Chains A and B, each alone.
Chain A
Amino acid sequence: MMAGHDTQWPRWEVFKQDAPGRPYQAVGSVHAGDPDHALLTARNVFVRRPSAVSLWTVREADLLTATPQELEAQPEVLDTPGEAGTYHVGLKRTHRRSMTFVDLVGALEAKGPGDALRQAREQYPDALTWLVFPESAVVRTDDDPGTLESWFAPAKDKTYKQQQYYGVIGKHMGELKREGRMPQRVNEEPHIGDQKVYSHPHDKAPKVQR
């Protein structure tokens, strides 16, 4: 086998729409073997809690992205060849911390990905990053009622629980303390008596018993 052979499945960028009419936003990526699998894993990873009405996935190989600095250093990116047709455009506009990084802002007709990137730069000169991909590369969830019900509706009933919801402070704690079964610090490694439960390679070598 080739050294350094990549055993990962292809990476797919995931775009999520929170509500009808809202822009699709890049929320992260998943590895998956094929388009249908990519959508299913995207739903599991990104839509268990937050609300969504639609997901798109796009294979990494079909995305072309660039920052202004990158285009300055490598202007030939604007000549990247590919199929002519409709291209979607996404922008990163701010350095503010955010759960999402790129919003899709619209589509344009282009001779190829490089041309799409060139047009995106002309239309949105202030962006921090441009992203383009052909319409033909988009894998979409269906928008029929059955899909909306089974893929997206359950998340609306699931709420985040604050940490204290899982608190174990109660009258049994006193009992645990008296019985010596009370963990001393939550980040302490597990011990039985004075002995660590797990030994680590960086621990001192144990004394050899003779």
Chain B
Amino acid sequence: MIEPMTHLSPTQTEALIRKLTALADDELLLAHRDSEWTGHAPILEEDIALANIAQDELGHASLYLELRRELDGSDPDRLAFFRDAGEFTNVRLVELPKGDWAFTMLRQYLFDAYEALWLDAARTSTYAPLAEVAAKAVREEKFHLQHTALWVERLALGTDESCRRTQKALKELWPFAAQLFQPVQDEAELVGVGILPDLAGVRARWEALVVPHLTGKCGLKLPEVPAAEAGRDTHTDHLAPLLLEMQSVARAIPNAEVW
């Protein structure tokens, strides 16, 4: 067992808590959106596959929140089920309604590519508990990425309708992707000491991976994106209704001991 890095300054601790929460929020909400397909996916095999992906993402959220618990003793279930929309720091990309299969696969692809590369970089974190979590989670993420990359390609190069839907999904999703690379407050403090990967570096690798896939292999057109990027405190109107459903059972029986 590697000892956790203990010499975090108060500012660093707060920034790390913010980052872990943001990472977990992304995973939690994406898992929920994916789970909305359970019983509704185009074929049974893909129903199972997407449920697997959702469970993996939920597992990653839980890993991040356990890291946060080590820092401030907070309860992961309280954070997941009893915070309101204004307290969530997920990107808008993951809160958008599930849309059609093309939208779901393309969103998952954009996210998987980002997460796989972020985790790959986080494996060398100087904060040992994060490095351990990254080494574990990156394996699943690389598999997700193969699955979703295949689907995006099949849909883009499939029928006229599947191509039209995939292009439409890209037009809707692409402008939201940049928010994935927005840092939390004081994130630079942690990047400077090697606790967190540099987001600009992850973004460069992400673009080098997804742009050729989307435009070259899949023949899709990237839409123009406004230069201004919103921070992680910016949400759409879709977040609150999502939380209402996701948190409803926990809030209905707040004193449940075991789920």
Contacts and interface: CB of A to CB of B under 8 A. Distances in A.
A153 B48 CA distance: 19
A40 B146 CA distance: 8
A41 B46 contact: yes
A198 interface: no
A175 interface: yes
Interface residues of A, number: 30
A5 B245 CA distance: 40
Point out which of A32, A44, A176 has the most chain B C-beta atoms below 10 A from its C-beta: A44
B46 A43 contact: no
Contacts of A9: 43
B174 to A, nearest CB: 25
A150 B253 contact: no
A24 to B, nearest CB: 20
A167 interface: yes
A50 B253 CA distance: 34
A170 B258 contact: yes
Contact of A168 (B43, B46, B142, B256): B256
Interface in B140-170: 140, 142-143, 146-147, 150, 154
Contacts of A153: 139
A154 B147 CA distance: 16
A92 interface: no
Given A31-B43, A40-B146, A150 B139 contact: yes
A41 B136 CA distance: 22
B255 A175 contact: yes
Interface string B222-259: 00000000000000000000000000000001011111
A36 interface: yes
Interface of B: 43-46, 48-49, 52, 56, 136, 139-140, 142-143, 146-147, 150, 154, 253, 255-259
5 contacts: A36-B150, A41-B45, A154-B143, A170-B258, A172-B255
Given A32-B45, A150-B143, A172-B255, 11 more contacts: A41-B49, A43-B143, A44-B49, A149-B142, A150-B139, A154-B140, A157-B136, A166-B259, A168-B257, A168-B258, A169-B258
